[in-house]
Amino acid sequence: MAQTSEKKKTSKSTKAKNQTLIIVESPAKAKTIEKYLGPGYTVRASMGHLIDLPKSRIAVDVENNFQPEYITVRGRAKILKDLQKEAKKSTAVLLASDNDREGEAIAWHLNRALQDKTSASIKRIVFNEITPGAITEAVKNPHEIQESKVNAQKARRVLDRLVGYNLSPLLWKKVKNGLSAGRVQSVALRLICEREKEVEEFIPDEYWTLDADFSKGKTILHSQLVQYDGKKPELKNEKSVNDIIAKISGSECVVVDIKESEKTIRPKAPFTTSKLQQAAANKLGFTSKKTMQVAQQLYEGINIGSNRVGLITYMRTDSVRISNVALDDVRKFIAENYDGQMPEKPIEYAVGKKAQDAHEAIRPTYVTYTPESVKESLTRDQFRLYSIIWERFVSSQMNNAKSKTVSVDIQADNAIFRLSGSKLIEKGFYKAIKLLSSKEDTSGSVPNLKIGEKLSVEKFFPEQHFTSGPARYTDASIVKVLEEKGIGRPSTYAPIISVLLERYYVTRNNKQLVPTALGKMIYKILVESFPDIINETFTADMENKLDLVEEDKFEWPDMMKEFYFPFKEHVDELMTSLESYKGSLDEPTDKICELCGKPMVKKLGRFGYFLACSGFPECHNTRSIPLAKCPRPGCGGEIVARKSRGRGKEFYGCTNHPECDFISHFKPINQNCPKCGWFLVEKYDKKNGNYKACINPDCDYLHTAEDKEGEEVFATDTND
């Protein structure tokens, strides 16, 4: 018995000694990889960074080549200790954090923290997709940590720390305690504030259009005036339109020209991070943050039946490159499922000059996992995002589509009206895309007509318009401009927007990013005080230098020396010379504190404006700011902003809740409806842009039929 027991003990010891520890960043990823590798491997998660700069101080030794002073992140010591224990029991440790700068830095810190605690060999592995093949290949080919990549992350971290920890105290002293400023976020704030200035200063011009219905038998042909007296019509007011109608009414209407043209529509490249965020915002209404959260879930692994599958490749990339294996797979799939819709040779897409090309484009790991085949295993958001990723990838290797456009010119006196229609004559890559936009699909067909054919005019449709000003940025458009200007990188687009929203420098209104009064003040101070730093050129130049550091072509401390000392000298000078704005955002009100009788003051807090008693600190009374009087007859309450319990979504409800159940999902503006007296709200749609509408469902002031149908004014479920 003793011998048997000893054998078992030896067997266990041998098994433990041959164990390989793999450390990834997240538990979801660990769960997927562990299923792929099986016995002999232990997979653990670091939960991101375990070692970083402390939050309490700048922690950069500027006199010693800007060396950072790292500590174990507060609350992460136990995770690190557990990893050290696992490493001690293992014969090999493979650091499998994400394949980017942050991931390389995590691996570097882990290596330093583990190497004195274990005799195991410690190596680095990377992969761009979580599939059995990719994981097995990575495990077979471990390598050393890439120091230059670590240095690039270190340089970014130190640079951002030097900027943030010097600008923030300046804002505390001159504006308000608790404020902060970041290097890249401040440039994004500048873009948003400058666009807002354009929006506010824009003065719309009136113009008119003139449409007409012509008839051919029972067929009605709707057309638009495109030429008058041989020129493009300039219809600046109602009189100019009525003059034309009066002149051409009763004139003979004749078809004078018919043109046909064909257009080739090429498929788009597979998604990069920025293009995915833009598409998800435009097609699905996702914020950039939500897009990256859902993409992370798809990348790390989804339970499909009894299998756990990483459905997409790594979602932080600026490359459109596709591996040869993936190309072979998708071309085989197209040949089997879309007969005759594939070019003879694979389509190659140009990689941008600034692209790192370390990863592939974002694509499905298995093209055979069609969206419909995995729908039951995905949440609604996962399914929708996976669908556009899958469709974009498959369609990128399919034939061009072709559309045919027919335009007909109809002459009435000296006016030319035009009707046109287009349709797809070859669907090509659209066969892989379920949801076509109106531009990509069809705008209708034109009935058979002949030149010289006479038509009858049925009715004229004069319509007043106003020129549209510049549009505020949305998640999609700000990401697009950040990418175009070289500000940030794929991993930073979503955090840039999130930080501005969290700091209340920007709010999201009808999907548009609108700077707050606080945001405008921060922008004014930073841009006026640091015009050479808070600008897109400086930021893009820094990004290029970080790239050179990663390529081992630039020493990162030199980058810091060049920037820091003049910057610090200027900050110190501003500490004494810059005008103080403290208290300038507070406004007196006519509201009286119900607790002590003193006047209430409108103050700006972390989450927006609120009312506070002027008797503070003796009286701590605060309350939400009323935005409008409740329109319910006899209620007497006021409308204030609220947050839903579940998702924290803002809505507007009555202070007399629950007796009054009035709520609105549109923010009230300080203006009453001239027709019924209820309050107005600001709305937005692609057709009309920003416009004001009455919240009363029975009032048609500035309402379209579509607005009325979609209105959600009254509700009994106040949890939403």
Query: 10-residue block means of pLDDT along the chain (720 residues)?
Result: 44 58 94 90 95 95 96 95 96 95 96 95 96 95 96 96 95 89 94 95 93 91 95 94 94 95 96 96 94 96 92 94 95 93 92 67 97 96 97 97 95 95 92 65 72 94 91 95 91 94 90 92 93 91 93 94 95 94 84 91 78 91 85 86 70 87 84 84 69 82 43 30
Number of CB atoms found within 10 A of residue 429's CB:
26
pLDDT reported for residue 703:
47
Give CA–CA dist 133/572, Å, rounded: 56
Catalytic residues, by residue number, are 314
Boundaries of CATH 1.10.460.10 in the chain?
A: 171-202+471-576
Question: How do 41-45 and 599-605 pair as beta strands?
Answer: unpaired
Residues paired with residue 224 on neighbouring β-strands, in sequence order: 211, 418
Residue type, 463: E
Instruction: For residue 699, give the DSSP letter.
Output: -
Residues of the chain with CATH 1.10.290.10: 273-395
| Spatial contact of 63 and 76, defined as CB atoms under 8 Å apart | no
Q: What is the DSSP letter of 362?
A: B
Burial annotation 321-348 (CB, 10 A radius, 16+ → b, else e): bbeeebeebbbebbeeebeebbeeeebe
- Domain 171-202+471-576 carries which CATH code? 1.10.460.10
CA–CA distance, 133 with 656 (Å, rounded to integer): 61
Q: How far apart are CA 172 and CA 533, in angstroms?
A: 20
Buried b (16+ CB within 10 A) or exposed e, 437-476: eeeeeeeeebeebeeeeebebeebebeeeeeeeeebbbbb
Per-residue tokens: 558: 């030199």
Q: Name the amino acid, one letter, at 549.
A: V
* Token pair for 343: 């070019």
Q: Where does residue 665 rank: exposed (0-12), middle (13-18), buried (19+ CB within 10 A)?
A: middle
Task: Label residue 9 exposed, middle or buried (CB < 10 Å: 0-12, 13-18, 19+).
Answer: exposed
* Architecture of the domain made up of 15-145: 3-Layer(aba) Sandwich (3.40)
Cβ–Cβ contacts within 10 Å for residue 94, how many? 22
Does domain 273-395 correspond to CATH entry 1.10.290.10?
yes
**How high is the pLDDT of residue 606?**
65
Q: What is the pLDDT of residue 357?
A: 55
pLDDT of amino acid 87: 96
Q: Where in the chain is the domain with CATH 2.70.20.10?
A: 206-263+405-426+439-466
Long-range Cβ pairs for the range 192-197 (8 Å, 24+): 192/472, 192/473, 192/478, 192/500, 192/506, 192/513, 192/514, 192/515, 192/519, 193/515, 193/519, 193/520, 193/523, 195/470, 195/472, 195/473, 196/472, 196/514, 196/515, 196/520
CA 616, CA 66: separation in Å to the nearest integer?
Answer: 44
Q: Which CATH architecture has domain 206-263+405-426+439-466?
A: Distorted Sandwich (2.70)
Distance (Å, rounded) from C-alpha 140 to C-alpha 40?
14
Phi and psi of 132, rounded to 5°?
A: -55, -45
Residue 231 DSSP symbol: B
Integer angstrom CA distances of residue 506 from 500, 519, 529? 6, 6, 20
